Amino acid sequence: MICRLETPAAAAALFGPAHPVILRACLEGTMGAVYGDHPAAPKSALALLGDFAFFAGRASRELEDFRPPDSPRPFALLIPRSAEWHRLLSERYGPMEFSRFAMKAGTFSRARLETLASCPSEYTICNINQELYNLCRQFPWSRDLVGQFFGWEAFQAHGLAVLALRDGVPVAGAGTYAACAGAIEIEADTREDHRRRGLARACCARLILACLDRGITPGWDAHTPASLSLAEQLGYRLESPYPAFAVSEW
């Protein structure tokens, strides 16, 4: 029987030696949830946070078919952490497979980031506050900048975000999708009618600078080649592509 783990770290070894920020947040118990086939010594495990579902350990149809209480989800990214899980997920979701890109933080150039942090004069770049946080939660394009946290107090304690405003309204931003000890996962989004103006890049540069000032590692995991290119402009290096499955109505 699949159950939620009261001690998520009990499944940490199943997920391999290197854990991205989103997965670390689940395993630390600060965000998301981890499910397994045993409450204390699981052999199969599933870590869930936002759109992300990481599968590890022994490949199991029972766990693959399991849906947490808040399902169905309108969209999910299924990520196998082993060849065995990749084979199992491919049997059902093969046409939906694509490559994401794990990025590694390089040696960031503050001078370059400060240059990239500029944007057209009709926009204002600013740090998030409670009013802007509430605005971001209202719109689909900006929700993921802040939406994995349960309220402003939680975001203020663990998250960072930088927004580009036009006439006082957010139109682009870089925020915190997930946070774990000493690191955040950056989420960047731009409203469709303000794209291709360097706004996301400027917000990301400003957010990375804020992380460096605070001794926080700014994590980046690229969903598309365009996200990969932006990351490399900012100072990240490609670590490796990896398989994922983009599933609607999971």
Q: Which pLDDT does position 62 carry in this prediction?
A: 97
Q: Which pLDDT does position 168 carry in this prediction?
A: 94
Q: Which pLDDT does position 126 carry in this prediction?
A: 97
CA 188 to chain centroid, in Å, comes to 10
Q: Which pLDDT does position 212 carry in this prediction?
A: 97
Mean pLDDT of the chain: 96
Q: Which pLDDT does position 55 carry in this prediction?
A: 98
CATH architecture of the domain with range 108-234: 3-Layer(aba) Sandwich (3.40)
Q: Which pLDDT does position 247 carry in this prediction?
A: 96
229 in Cβ contact with 107 (< 8 Å):
no
pLDDT of 138 strictly over 90: yes
Structure confidence at residue 249 as a pLDDT band (50, 70, 90): confident
Q: Which pLDDT does position 106 carry in this prediction?
A: 79
* Tens of pLDDT, residues 198-234: 999 999 999 999 999 999 999 999 999 999 999 999 9
Burial of 214 (0-12, 13-18, 19+ CB in 10 A): exposed
Q: Which pLDDT does position 72 carry in this prediction?
A: 67
Q: Which pLDDT does position 225 carry in this prediction?
A: 96
pLDDT of 92 strictly over 70: yes
Question: What percent of the chain is modeled with pLDDT above 70?
Answer: 99
* Tens of pLDDT, residues 144-171: 999 999 999 999 999 999 999 999 999 9
Burial of 1 (0-12, 13-18, 19+ CB in 10 A): exposed
Structure confidence at residue 250 as a pLDDT band (50, 70, 90): confident
Q: Per-domain residue ranges for the chain? A: 3-99, 108-234
Q: Which residue has the tokens 């955040």?
A: 184
**pTM, rounded to two decimals:** 0.95
Q: Residues near 128 by Cβ (< 8 Å), separated by ≥ 6?
A: 136, 146, 155, 160, 161, 162, 163, 173, 175
* Tens of pLDDT, residues 5-58: 999 999 999 999 889 999 999 999 999 999 999 999 999 999 999 999 999 999
Structure confidence at residue 69 as a pLDDT band (50, 70, 90): confident
Domain 3-99 has CATH 3.30.470.10: no
Structure confidence at residue 91 as a pLDDT band (50, 70, 90): very high
Residues 78, 80, 85: CA angle, nearest 5 degrees: 120
Q: Which pLDDT does position 4 carry in this prediction?
A: 97
CATH fold match for the domains 3-99 and 108-234: yes
Q: What is the SS3 assignment for 99?
A: strand
